[in-house]
Chains A and B, each alone.
Chain A
Amino acid sequence: MTDRGGIVAAATGAEALSTEEPVGRSTGWWGMVLFVATESTFFACLLGSYYYLRFQVGPRWPPDGIGNPELVRPLIMTGLLLFSSVPLFWGVRGIRYGRRWRLRAGLLATMVLVVTFLTVQATEYVDDLRTLTPTTDVYGSLYYLITGFHSVHVLGGLAFVGWLLAASLGNRFDPQHYDRVRNAGIFWVFLDVVWVAVLFTIYLSPRL
């Protein structure tokens, strides 16, 4: 009891409260974490809007005779996006040990998978636009808004990885300097988590 009281007293003292936690992170790391936090809030609002409007519309969802969204391509896209993290983190791990070729190969493989993801998304839009547009109804607006904003973020991630690949070809990274690549990993985890939430909300929840 005395021990516990001592720890509480020490932890609520000026020195303990002013401890930097987590310690020693770069400004870039904090920037990326804050960016991911704001973007996560943005997507939480979009998904919250989806559920709010879904329950306002009534028991039939999607409304007005619109069928459930197709599931095969979204599942393929899920595999592509989640798997694109593997070569990225493989490359990050490689540069930690000074293996530049591994970083370059990992970034290139990530880009190929992401371009494939966006291509499959584009083919899905082409098919969907025949029957559903962003102005058809509230469901169409939400569908294109949420998946579209996620795709824009994936496109941003693609540009980010492309920039890292160009920098790695110029030998800008070594085992002491690879913060930017690690920050890309944080962004990639964010893209994956948001996509899983989008998959559940847009493609799976209407079937429940």
Chain B
Amino acid sequence: MGTQVGPRARLFGGLLLWYGVLGGAVAWAVHLMAAWSMDELACAAGSAEISALPLWQAVGLAVIIPALAAAGALAVAVLAWTRMGQAQRSGASDNAYGRTRLLAAVGIWANLFFLSIIVLGGVALLVLPVCQR
């Protein structure tokens, strides 16, 4: 296993892997709820603004922030995948490395999927007029 890793670094590393696996899914859920509810509530009230902010900008924020979170999760998943591969190639045969590599692979595909959905939601915002029925 090589160098000694402290408990704080271990905790942070373990949580980072959770983020790398589930971050995209959570970001998509937040994006869906925030963007949809803002659009639906504002348009139902007959307004194209939320607190003086144009609706397209508010919804745009609900696209960009979750997209950045999903992209971050994708980067963490890729990092975990790479690090586990390096460790395994250097001769380490810890079961935990194999398990983590599998989770990282799941994270890469899941985050790509959820990031695509969020980005396509943003494209819809650029193409379609707000409050279109």
Known A7-B9, A10-B5, A10-B9; contact A17-B100, beta-carbon cutoff 8 A: yes
Q: In the complex, A51→B96 CA distance in Å?
A: 43
Known A12-B13, A12-B16; contact A17-B80, beta-carbon cutoff 8 A: yes
Q: Are B17 and A17 in contact (CB under 8 A)?
A: yes
Give the dominant DSSP class at B's interface. helix
Q: In the complex, A151→B37 CA distance in Å?
A: 28
Number of interface residues of B (CB under 8 A): 35
Q: Are B16 and A18 in contact (CB under 8 A)?
A: no
Partner of B40, one of A12, A14, A16, A55: A55
Q: Could you say which of A14, A16, A52, A55 has the most chain B C-beta atoms within 10 Å of its C-beta?
A: A14
Task: Kindly provide the distance from the CB of A193 to the nearest chain B CB, expressed in whole angstroms.
Answer: 16
Which A residues touch B13, using CB under 8 A? 10-13, 15-19, 21
Please tell me if A20 contacts chain B, counting CB pairs below 8 Å: yes
Give the dominant DSSP class at A's interface. helix
Please tell me if B92 contacts chain A, counting CB pairs below 8 Å: yes
Specify the chain A residue showing the minimal Cβ separation from B94: A18
Q: Are B8 and A7 in contact (CB under 8 A)?
A: yes
Which A residues touch B29, using CB under 8 A? 44
Question: How many A-B pairs with Cβ below 8 Å?
Answer: 85
Q: Which of B61-69, B82-90, B118-126 faces chain A? A: B82-90
Q: Are A16 and B1 in contact (CB under 8 A)?
A: no
Which A residues touch B87, using CB under 8 A? 14-15
Query: Which residues of A pack against B, CB within 8 Å?
Result: 7, 10-21, 44, 48, 51-52, 55
Ordered by A's residue number, 23 sampled pairs between the chains whose C-beta atoms are within 8 Å are: A10-B9, A11-B9, A11-B10, A12-B13, A12-B79, A13-B5, A13-B83, A15-B1, A15-B3, A15-B13, A16-B5, A16-B9, A16-B10, A17-B16, A17-B17, A17-B84, A17-B100, A19-B17, A21-B11, A21-B15, A21-B17, A44-B29, A55-B44
